[in-house]
Amino acid sequence: MRVKSEKKNRKNPSTGRRRESPSGRVLSRRCGKALDRSESDQLLRWFDAVRRDLSWRRRRDPYSVLVSEVMLQQTRVEVVERYYEAFLASFPDVRSLANASEEEVLARWSGLGYYRRARNLHRAARVIAGRGTWPRTAASLRELPGIGEYTAAAVASIAFGEATLALDGNVERVLARRIALDSDPKRALGRRALERAGLDLVDGGRAGDSNQALMELGATLCRPRSPHCDVCPLSEGCAARALGRAEDYPMRRVRRQRLAVCWVTAIVERDGRILLLRRPPAPGLMDGLWNLPTIELEAERTDCSDRELARRFAREYGGRWSVAGARARAHHSVTYRDIDVLIVEASIGSRAEVAESEEAVFVEVAKLPPSAWAELPTGALVAKALEALFRARAESTHAGQGSARSTATGS
């Protein structure tokens, strides 16, 4: 009759609190093993004692929580710390964000990368401002543009107290280890097992803190390598630890093979200004941001002559191009692509010659670094390419001075 007792102990949907068995213990739905309910209390006690003082943890309103959760997707905590308060200072509430232009939003996002997130956040703000009220559950937050399952659950639990589980990569690792999950956590079966295990740890009265505690645990103790099981609040009931195989979980998936690619990026300088181009927003790489003119070379054609490169830039962007040779190299990566970037100096007949599909602007070099171009959201490659170019120029000036000095000394 174990199945029956498991059903009895599901959370009360109206309060989100766990129903206890007569013995006061919560039953794991995965294997029927009794879990001491003090585990979720232990987790919260640990979190209360060690939680990092991060800017977004000082705010609980849904807007601030949503902004932080979107920023934290694929971006390190230290980086988000640098941008979060400034973004909220520019757009202090959902209405101010909704009323801003996309250009302004992207400019304030500049430096955080993955600009699609900023566009979706902007669109979501417009929907919320238009309705005049916030969706308060994970299911209704999920209907906002670009808000995935994790973000919806995080906002619902932290801002509105919903007893739901926010399952990000860190939490997935903690839970997969805790139950020694022997299937792929990305597939339905594995995911359901993790959700059940995670919900057992969510305290109905402090759901947001429970979720943040699990995230914190994954970020600080239950690291991918060398987890600190000896000080972990969940160590007692952790199956992977008991097996002595913590690092084997979660089960690895076969990774997509990385692809080596070559791009050529053109620096077109005119009167101390550099040409940036922008394509109208559309799905795809670098969508809607200002970028240096860039073409991709086929793997077998990376040794193109300057004339051939000029022909290709003209084909891609319109106008009459000439290329004056490679000046520097940089490395860039986008998802599974490792990109070797060749930086060339080039000129174009006239700005008016740029193809109609492009917007063009010449930006003062003096306004470097690009993050200072508050009014102009740029792709990450712009900063990298310009830094590599100016470093190469400085080195060549330095070498020139050195050789001039040795010539003078020698004469």
- Stretch binding ligand SF4 (CB under 6 A), from 81-89, 222-230, 295-303, 362-370: 222-230
| Smallest distance, ligand SF4 to C-beta of residue 148, A | 24
Which lies closer to ligand SF4 via its Cβ, residue 94 or residue 240?
240
Look up 85 and say whether it is catalytic: no
By CB under 6 A, residue 177 contacts ligand SF4: yes
201 to 12, 155, 355, 380, 386: CA distances (angstroms): 14, 18, 57, 39, 49
Rg (CA), the chain: 27
Binding residue (CB under 6 A) for ligand SF4 from 108, 117, 119, 178: 178
Q: Please write down the long-range contacts of 310-315, taking CB distance under 8 Å and 24 or more positions apart.
A: 310/346, 312/264, 313/266, 313/346, 313/348
| Smallest distance, ligand SF4 to C-beta of residue 230, A | 8
Of 308, 328, 324, 304, residue with least CA distance to 316: 308
DSSP strand pairing (290-291 vs 273-278) = antiparallel
By CB under 6 A, residue 167 contacts ligand SF4: no
Residue 330: strand, helix, or coil: strand
| Smallest distance, ligand SF4 to C-beta of residue 235, A | 4
Site size for ligand SF4, by CB under 6 A? 15
| Smallest distance, ligand SF4 to C-beta of residue 115, A | 34
**Beta bridge mates, 269:** 274
| Smallest distance, ligand SF4 to C-beta of residue 218, A | 8
By CB under 6 A, residue 28 contacts ligand SF4: no
Q: Which of 39, 69, 172, 345 is catalytic?
A: 69
For residues 229-258, which are near ligand SF4 according to CB under 6 A?
229, 232, 234-235, 238, 240-241, 246
Of 172, 173, 166, 161, residue with least CA distance to 211: 166
DSSP 244: T
Of 86, 37, 88, 94, residue with least CA distance to 59: 88
Residues 261-300 as x/- pattern, contact with ligand SF4 by CB under 6 A: ----------------------------------------
Q: Which residues contact 388 (CB under 8 A, 6 or more apart)?
A: 328, 329, 330, 341, 343
Residue numbers annotated as active site: 69
Residues forming contacts to ligand SF4 in the complex (CB under 6 A) are 174, 177-178, 221-222, 227-229, 232, 234-235, 238, 240-241, 246
